[in-house]
C-alpha cells in the first residue's frame, strides 16, 4: 500500500508539473505576441521619425503625406484636449458614483447599479458614436453654434465611455479601506459624510489616482466614437467648439489607402500612442505599488 501511495503521489506531482509548464507556455506566448507587436510597430514607424526628425515629427503643424509633410502636432493637441475634456466631464461624476456605491448605497442598490455599470462597459463604441451624431452634435450646434462636430462633442462621448473603468477601480479602492478607519472617525464625532471625505477618500487616494490614469488611457485609445463626432479636421483647435483629429482617428482614417512613407508615418503615430499609454500605465503601476 505504501508503494501504491508513493506512485499515486508521484503521478500527481508529474501532472501538476505538466499543468504548470502548460500555464507557463501560455503566459510566455502572450508576452511573445506583445513583443512581436511592439517590434513590428517600432520597426515600421521609427525610420520615418529619424528621416523627418523627432522634433519636426512631433512639433510640426502640417500634415500632408502627399507633400512629404508629417507633422502630428495638431493631432497631439487634439488628443490632449479631447482627453482632458473627457476627464473633466467623466471623473467627478465617476468618483461621486463610486463613493455612493461604497459608502451610502444599500446592498440591493449596489447590486443593480454595479450590473448597470458593467453593462455600460459592454456597449460597443460605435453605438456611443451613433448616439453622439444623433443627439449630442445637433444639441451643441443648436445651443452653442458651429457644426457640432467638435472637441466638446468628443469629450462628452468619451466622458461617458470612461465611467465604467473609473467607477470600478475607484469603488474597489474605497472598499479596500479598513472598516476601522470609518469606525474611528465616527467614534470621534464625525458624520458619515465627513468620515468619507476626510478619512476614507484620502486613504484610497492612490487607488483613485490609478483609476483616473487608467481612464485617461482608455480615452486616449478610443477611435470609432471620436471619428464620428470630432470633425476630423487636421487643425489646432483653439475652442471646444472647433473640430479636431486625434492620433487614433488619423491612423484609422488613412491607413486603408496609405503606402510608403505615408504608411510609415501612421505607424510612427502608433509609436507615439504606444509610448503615451505605456507611460500612463507605468505611472498607474507605480502608484499601486506605493499603495
Residue spans of the chain under pLDDT 70: 1-8, 10-11, 287-291
CA distances from 289 to 43, 177, 283 (A): 32, 16, 10
DSSP lists the bridge partners of residue 69 as: 64
Instruction: Supply the pLDDT for residue 188.
Output: 84
CA 15/CA 257 separation, integer angstroms: 52
Our CA angle for 170, 172, 173, nearest 5°, is 65
Instruction: Supply the pLDDT for residue 2.
Output: 46
CA 244/CA 233 separation, integer angstroms: 5
Instruction: Supply the pLDDT for residue 6.
Output: 63
> Which DSSP string corresponds to 111-151?
HHHHHHHHHHHHS-HHHHHHHIIIIIHHHHHHHH-S-S-SH
Q: Is 0.75 surpassed by the pTM of this model?
A: yes
- The number of beta carbons lying within 10 Å of the beta carbon of residue 67 is 8
Amino acid at each position: 500500500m505504501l508503494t501504491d501511495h508513493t506512485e499515486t503521489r508521484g503521478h500527481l506531482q508529474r501532472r501538476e508539473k505538466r499543468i504548470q509548464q502548460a500555464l507557463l507556455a501560455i503566459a510566455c506566448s502572450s508576452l511573445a505576441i506583445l513583443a512581436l507587436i511592439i517590434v513590428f510597430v517600432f520597426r515600421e514607424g521609427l525610420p520615418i521619425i529619424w528621416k523627418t526628425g523627432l522634433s519636426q515629427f512631433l512639433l510640426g503643424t502640417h500634415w500632408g503625406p502627399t507633400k512629404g509633410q508629417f507633422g502630428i502636432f495638431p493631432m497631439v493637441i487634439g488628443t490632449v484636449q479631447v482627453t482632458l475634456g473627457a476627464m473633466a466631464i467623466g471623473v467627478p461624476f465617476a468618483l461621486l458614483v463610486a463613493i455612493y456605491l461604497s459608502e451610502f448605497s444599500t446592498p440591493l442598490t449596489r447590486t443593480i447599479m454595479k450590473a448597470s455599470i458593467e453593462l455600460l462597459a459592454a456597449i460597443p463604441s460605435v453605438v456611443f458614436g451613433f448616439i453622439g451624431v444623433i443627439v449630442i452634435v445637433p444639441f451643441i450646434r443648436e445651443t452653442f453654434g458651429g457644426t457640432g462636430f467638435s472637441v466638446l462633442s468628443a469629450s462628452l462621448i468619451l466622458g461617458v465611455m470612461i465611467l465604467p473603468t473609473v467607477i470600478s477601480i475607484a469603488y474597489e479602492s474605497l472598499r479596500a479601506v479598513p472598516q476601522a478607519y470609518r469606525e474611528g472617525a465616527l467614534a470621534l464625532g464625525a458624520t458619515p459624510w465627513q468620515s468619507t471625505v476626510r478619512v476614507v477618500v484620502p486613504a484610497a487616494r492612490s487607488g483613485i489616482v490609478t483609476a483616473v490614469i487608467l481612464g485617461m488611457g482608455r480615452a486616449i485609445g478610443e477611435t470609432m466614437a471620436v471619428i464620428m463626432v470630432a470633425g476630423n479636421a487636421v487643425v489646432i483647435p483653439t475652442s471646444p467648439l472647433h473640430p479636431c483629429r486625434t492620433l487614433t482617428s488619423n491612423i484609422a482614417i488613412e491607413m486603408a489607402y496609405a503606402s510608403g512613407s505615408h504608411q510609415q508615418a501612421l505607424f510612427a503615430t502608433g509609436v507615439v500612442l504606444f509610448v503615451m499609454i505605456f507611460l500612463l500605465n507605468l505611472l498607474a503601476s507605480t502608484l499601486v505599488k506605493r499603495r
